Amino acid sequence: MNPWETPIHKSGCGVLGILRKSGAGKIPSEQALTAIECVRYRGSRLGAGFASIDLDRGGSAFKVKAFVDSMETAELVDKLLSERQGIRIVERGYEDYDPGRRFNTWVTWVKGEADTVSQAVSEINQVLWGERIRGRIYSWGRFVDVFKGVGYPRDVAESCMLAKGGVEADLWIAHTRQPTNSPGIYPVWSHPFSSHEWAVVHNGDISSFGANMEFLLMSGVRSFVGTDSEVIAYLLDHLTRREGLGIEEAAQLLCNPYDNLCPPHIRRLITRYRGAQLDGPFTVVAGYSDGRDVYLLALTDRSKFRPIVVGEDEERFYVASEEAQIRALSPGARVWTVEPGRYFLASLRRGLIDPGRDSLVAAPYLGNDGWDGGIDAEGMDYRRLNDEIRRRVEAGERRIKVFNVRGQRYLGVGLPPGVKLEIHGVPGNCLGNFNEGVEIEVYGNAQDDVGDTMHAGRIIIHGDARDVIGQALQGGMILVKGNVGNRAAIQMREYMDRRPYLIVGGRADDYFGEYMAGGVAVILGLGVKGEPVGKHVATGMVGGRIYIRGRISEEKVGLQPPRQDVERYLKGLLKEGLITPQTYQKIIEEGASFKAVERHLTGKPLKRIWRLFENKHTKQLEIEYRKLTSEDIELIKPALTEFWKTFNLPPNLLQQTLNQEYTIIHPR
């Protein structure tokens, strides 16, 4: 098949990574299985897989694993390997053999240089990947081992002997697959994808796929199965092995930081290795070994269009799509999320290298008081748990406690007003959606999409919440003691006397209040160092008010043109004699923000440069930095009083907090 015309197959899925810390025991494969099965519903029967990395495994031979459709193909693989100068086969055979399967795994142990084996693998795969798929070499590391197939994670684990009394390793990654554009009927499309000592699982669908493939073709890679996840493994291997980049440099290149946030040496690398950057939605979890150490790497895209959480306990590091996966193995782990466009990196020997955010903030684990007559949700499927809650409500119960909650979705959805639901543990995604008057109290952290399209009632989170909390919130109140993730309070709205409130005790990531049309969103930043909010606050806001304690940089609010473009236009105005050098200097010193431009320009120069800042569909917002007025206090004090009461905070702190200065954002 012409590699330039490979058809593509895409996916959206559940991911997992676990790395042991130095001194801690090796990780049994069953645990990887437990944690990925925890989000079984994120995948389908069309593909799952595992990869392990273990330093002790590393002999001098590469373990080349290939799916083959026949003994003839297996012989062909070995013939092509052995014909290559510099490669010597030391052992060979089926890993397991099931005549009912279209593809079985053939293993050939070879000795040789990594670059020689790499080239041979690429060429053999080109031969096998013809009009008819005869097979595929899917891993060839000395430390990496990949197990994948068609089925749910449990099916694959059982067929690869990973389920009970399985294999131990320093690192595991795992995947459950939801193919959206591909057949998924053969294991060749299952994750993990691997190249040399890298193994990668991915949830996403990248728009850069074509550019990435062109980059790899330019670099000599010739055969692709056509999923975007495969190219990510190739990119990481190429950049570290062939180009000699460090893992962190490669990670930054792939994450593709916004130009205005890009360190100069990374910008130079982007120009040099253009085409290696990822764009569009992705959460990538990768394992890697350089033979001396083992690394767990996780990447997320600029917009953070896919979920990712990271965890740590005494013994291990974790990366997962959902917090419940981490809690399934380590109930008390410290869990946080990666900032959009950033990467998380830890290693066996060095420990935490980059947490994936500037300020590592994680709510303390609240534990689980144990069962006291409520529902014990341990091991319960989300449908069964929701049915049980509904059954109790129909039987007349109005106060329902649930313990040992671990990732069950849709809790509190569809319950009648007046019910109080108390949750101990980590509720799954879509908690309290469409709420019309239920009070939900979570003793722990919440996952993504809390209170979507909520009309009335209250949701109280004693820990942190993740992305998209309070989307289209249009009545009632959401109180979060800790932090919220990306895109909180987006599309909030109000109607007549129905004004929703979202109060965040800690900090928020990017796009807080995007498209906000009504209601009140407050970020208190209690105990937070630095500005308690990420980029693009209130972009597209048309109504409502946002209060953030402390001063927020103006360039963080709304959508701003690149600073270089503003500076250049100002230089143009200077050349045309429309502004003085003094004015130019002042605006530059004040950050070339739209506020600075407004402060110093009037008339024609303002009108002209203003086209960079505003258009028919993009308006700048009012940003005030000041003490609260009596109107402000009237608007937010009742909700803050609730917040204080609910979380039992010292009353004098409320008055202090109300006396401080806030950044207040609203439409002009």
- In a 3-state reduction of DSSP, which class is residue 559? coil
3 binds another protein (CB under 8 A): no
275 binds another protein (CB under 8 A): yes
559 binds another protein (CB under 8 A): yes
Q: Would you say 142 or 306 has its CB closer to another protein?
A: 306
Q: Which of 440, 573, 601, 640 binds another protein (CB under 8 A)?
A: 573
Cα dihedral: 43, 48, 54, 58 (round 10): -150
575 binds another protein (CB under 8 A): yes
209 binds another protein (CB under 8 A): yes
Q: Which of 378, 565, 624, 661 binds another protein (CB under 8 A)?
A: 565
Give yes or no for a contact between 12 and 109, defined as CB atoms under 8 angstroms apart: no
Choose the stretch contacting another protein; rule: CB under 8 A; options: 43-51, 87-95, 240-248, 252-260: 252-260
- Give the closest residue to 158 by CA, choosing from 214, 221, 98: 98
Total residues at interface with another protein (CB under 8 A): 65
Please give the helix or strand (H or E) that residue 574 lies within, else none. helix 563-575
126 binds another protein (CB under 8 A): no
Please give the helix or strand (H or E) that residue 347 lies within, else none. strand 343-347
Q: Would you say 167 or 236 has its CB closer to another protein?
A: 236
Whole-angstrom Cα distance, residue 412 to residue 423?
10
Alpha helices in 10-58 (DSSP H): 29-37
Q: Which of 88, 292, 417, 564 binds another protein (CB under 8 A)?
A: 564
Q: Which of 280, 331, 414, 550 binds another protein (CB under 8 A)?
A: 280
Which tokens go with 587?
């605006």
Pairing of strands 477-480, 456-461: parallel
Q: Would you say 568 or 645 has its CB closer to another protein?
A: 568
Give min distance, CB of 275 to another protein, in A. Answer: 7
Question: What's the angle, vertex CA 65, arms to CA 62 and CA 70, rounded to 5?
Answer: 140
Q: What's the number of CA atoms in the CB half-sphere (13 Å) around residue 305?
A: 16
**CA 576 to chain CA centroid, nearest Å:** 48
Q: Give me the 606-645 binding string for another protein, x by CB under 8 A, dash otherwise.
A: --x--xx--xxxx---------------------------
Give min distance, CB of 214 to another protein, in A. Answer: 5
265 binds another protein (CB under 8 A): no
Give yes or no for a contact between 533 and 483, defined as CB atoms under 8 angstroms apart: no
- CA distances to 327, 528, 602 from 482, in Å: 18, 10, 44
Give min distance, CB of 300 to another protein, in A. Answer: 14
585 binds another protein (CB under 8 A): no
Which tokens go with 433?
């959606």
Q: Which of 383, 568, 627, 645 binds another protein (CB under 8 A)?
A: 568
- Give the closest residue to 308 by CA, choosing from 202, 408, 230, 436: 202
Whole-angstrom Cα distance, residue 297 to residue 639?
40
Q: Would you say 45 or 274 has its CB closer to another protein?
A: 274
**Residue list 23-62, contact with another protein (CB under 8 A):** none
288, β-bridge pairs? 198, 295
Give min distance, CB of 248 to another protein, in A. Answer: 18
- Residue 292, φ and ψ in degrees, nearest 5: -110, -30
Q: Which residues, at least 6 apart from 647, have a Cβ–Cβ distance to it below 8 Å? A: 462, 479, 481, 505
How many other CB atoms are found less than 10 A from the CB of residue 137? 24
181 binds another protein (CB under 8 A): yes
**Residue list 4-23, contact with another protein (CB under 8 A):** 4-5, 7-10, 12
1 binds another protein (CB under 8 A): no
119 binds another protein (CB under 8 A): no
Q: Which of 273, 365, 382, 501 binds another protein (CB under 8 A)?
A: 273
**Residue list 304-333, contact with another protein (CB under 8 A):** 305
Whole-angstrom Cα distance, residue 415 to residue 217?
55
Whole-angstrom Cα distance, residue 39 to residue 177?
11
Q: Which of 208, 447, 474, 483 binds another protein (CB under 8 A)?
A: 208
Q: Which of 95, 158, 168, 214 binds another protein (CB under 8 A)?
A: 214
Give min distance, CB of 247 to another protein, in A. Answer: 20
**Residue list 423-462, contact with another protein (CB under 8 A):** none
- Give the closest residue to 48 by CA, choosing from 238, 246, 187: 187
Site of interaction with another protein (CB under 8 A): 4-5, 7-10, 12, 180-182, 204-211, 213-214, 217-219, 256, 258-259, 267-268, 270-275, 277, 279-281, 302-303, 305, 511, 514-515, 536, 539-540, 559, 562, 564-565, 568-569, 571-573, 575-576, 608, 611-612, 615-618
